[in-house]
Amino acid sequence: MAEPRPKPPDGPSGGSRLIPFHVAYLALALLGVFLLRDLWVQSQAVAPIPYSEFQQLLREGQIAEVLVGSDEIRGEFREERDGKARFVTTRVEPDLAADLEKYDVEYAGRIESDFLPTLLSWVLPVLFFVAIWMFLLRRMMSAGGGPGGGFMAIGKSKAKVYVEKSVGVTFADVAGVDEAKAELEEIVAFLKDPRSYGRLGARMPKGVLLIGPPGTGKTLLARAVAGQAGVPFFSVTGSEFVEMFVGVGAARVRDLFEQARGQAPCIIFIDELDALGRARGAGPAGFGGHDEKEQTLNQLLVELDGFDPSSGIVILAASNRPEILDPALLRAGRFDRQVLVDRPDKLGRAAILRVHLRKVDVAPDVDPDAVAALTPGFTGADLANLVNEAALVATRRRADAVHATDFTQAVERIVAGLEKRNRLLIPREREVVAHHEMGHAILASVLPGCDPVHKVSIIPRGVGALGYTLQRPTEDRFLMTRAELENKLAVLLGGRAAERLVYDHLSTGAADDLARATEIAHDMVVRYAMVPELGNATWVNETAPYLGMTVPRGAREYSEETAREIDCAVRELVDRAFDRALAVLERNRAILGGGARRLLDEETLGQDALEALFEKLEPEPEAG
C-alpha cells in the first residue's frame, strides 16, 4: 500500500507568492517617502504672504511673474526675500490684468477642474482602508499557516501532521514501560497488516487511552507507535479544541476526522484529554449546559462512533486525570483499551537510563543500576533531566566524560536543591545542623528495615534546607508494615531528638521532618487502620490517583468523638517515635558527638566514611 504523504501547505506562509505582495508595499512606501520629501521641499521654498503685502510688492516692482488661479496667486520674486524665491497668496480682486500690465509683470491663468480632486477625495480614502484591511487579512491568514488558517478558518483543525521520518521515535527509544509497550505493539501490527489480524473476525481497537502520572512517557509512547507503524500521525492537545465561540471546537473535531479519513491508515493523538473530556453535568446543582466544552465533547463522541475500525484510524489519547473524564468517553466502542503507564521500577529506571546514556559520553564507573537505586519514584522525564544535569555538572568541571560522582551531585541537586555555599551560618548553628543530620543517620543505621545512608552533608541547599541526609533504597517497596512505618517515623524525628539530647532545646530546623512524620502518622490512623482502638475502618477523604492530591468529600463523615480519637492516635504515634529516637541516641551519644565533629570538619561524609564511623553502634534492644 502506498504511503500517503501530507501535502505541503499552500498560501502566503510559503513559496514565492509573497514576493509581489511585499514588493508592492515596498514600492508604495518609497513613493510615499519621495512625495513627502517633495512636499516638504516645496513648503520650505514658498513664502505665504497676505494679499495687501502682494499689492505693496507689486507697486514696488518686486514681483517678476505670477500664475493666477481662481482662488490663489502664485509667483516669483525678482530677488529672494528671507531666503525664499516664490510666494503664494489668496486672490481677492477678480481683475488683476490691468495692474499686472501696469507694473510690467508676466502673468498667466490656470484653468482648474474640480473633477479630479473630487474623485480622488472619494477614491483615495476607500483605497487606503481597503489596503489596510487586505494587509491585516493576509497577516491573519499567514499566522494560521496558510489560506486555511487564521480568522477566516477558525473552525479548522490545528493538528500537526507528521509522517514516519518526521516522528523519528520508535519502540527502541522507549524503555521502562514494557507492559504498556506490549499493548501498543499490537496496534502497530494491526496498522501494518489489518487483513492478517482480522482473519478471525477481530477488529482493530478504536481508541486507546494512556493514563498515568505526568512525565511517565505517554506522549513518547504515542509517537513511538506512529514511528514504528510508519503512518501519518496527527498530534493535537485537548485545549486546542476549546475556543470562546460556541461551535468552533465541534467544527475542529469534524475537520480533524475528515483529514484523518483522507490520510488513513493513520493515528490521531489527543494529548491532555481531560481538558476536553471532563465529565458533563458537573456544574451547579448537577445540571449540564450548552457551553463550548460540552458541545465539543458531544461531537467527539459522535465521531468516535461514526468511523469504521477497518478504515485504519486509531485514536490514542493521554491523561493523568482519568477520574474526571466523562463515562461516555471511556465506554467500550470508543476507548476500548486503557493502558496504565506507571512510574518505572528499579529495573525500568535502569533501562531508561541506558537509553539516555547513549546520548552522552560516560565513564566506565557509571553503573545504571546504582544510579537507578538512588532515584526511587523518578519518572522517565525525571531521569532524562537527571542525565542532562549530570552532563552539565561534568561540563562545568571541564571533564572528558560523565562520572558516577556527577550523577550523585545531579541527584542531590534535583532532590535537595542547589548548593548555597554563600549562605554563611554562625558556628553555633553549624553545630546544631551537624548533630541534627547525624541523628538522622544514626537512626537510619540502627533501626531494621531502613534504607542505608548514602551521604550526609551540612552544606545548605534549596530554599530552607541547612543540611540533608541522603538514603539509597536497596529495592522498590510497594507494601510496608506498621513496624516499618514506625521506624520511618523515628528516623524522621532523629534530628529533633539529637537537638533535644545535646542542647536541651528545640529549634525550627525540624519543621519539614515534623510535617512528613505527622502526615505518615495520620495516614497510618485514617487510611491504613493501623490503630486497634479505631477498628478496621478508614476515615480518609477521596484521594485523586497519580497526583497525590486529596479531594474532600464535603461534610466530614465521622463524629467529633471519632475526630478526637484520631487526633490522639496521631499524636501518640509521633510522640512514641520521638521517645524511641531519643533513647537510641542516648545509648550512642559518643558516636553522635564524634560524627558531628567530623561532619563539621569535612562538611560531607560518604557511605564508606559513615560505615566506618557506625561500626560500634549499639542496636536497639528487642521489645519485651
Contact criterion met (CB below 8 Å) for 142 and 11 = yes
Q: Is 218 exposed, middle or buried (0-12, 13-18, 19+ CB in 10 A)?
A: buried
Any idea what DSSP says for residue 548? T
236 bridge partner residues: 270
Q: What is the Cα–Cα distance from 494 to 346, expressed in whole angstroms?
A: 28
Q: What is the Cα–Cα distance from 160 to 330, expressed in whole angstroms?
A: 25
The torsion angles phi and psi of 276, rounded to 5 degrees, stand at -110, -35
For this structure, is 615 an active site residue? no
Instruction: Supply the DSSP string of 362-424, one letter for each residue.
Output: B-TT--HHHHHHT-TT--HHHHHHHHHHHHHHHHHTT-SSB-HHHHHHHHHHHHH--B-TT-P
Q: What is the Cα–Cα distance from 78 to 88, expressed in whole angstroms?
A: 14
For residue 315, the SS3 value is: strand
Q: What is the Cα–Cα distance from 592 to 576, expressed in whole angstroms?
A: 21
Q: Which of 272, 437, 486, 499 is catalytic?
A: 437
Q: What is the Cα–Cα distance from 449 to 471, expressed in whole angstroms?
A: 12
Q: What is the Cα–Cα distance from 54 to 73, expressed in whole angstroms?
A: 9
Contact criterion met (CB below 8 Å) for 531 and 524 = yes
459: which 3 cell numbers? 552544606
Pairing mode, strands 207-211 and 337-340: parallel
Q: What is the Cα–Cα distance from 249 to 158, expressed in whole angstroms?
A: 11
CA dihedral 392, 451, 455, 489 (to 10 degrees): 110
Alpha carbon distances (Å) from 274 to 161, 235, 326, 549: 22, 16, 9, 16
Q: What is the Cα–Cα distance from 459 to 353, expressed in whole angstroms?
A: 28
Which residues does the annotation mark as catalytic? 437
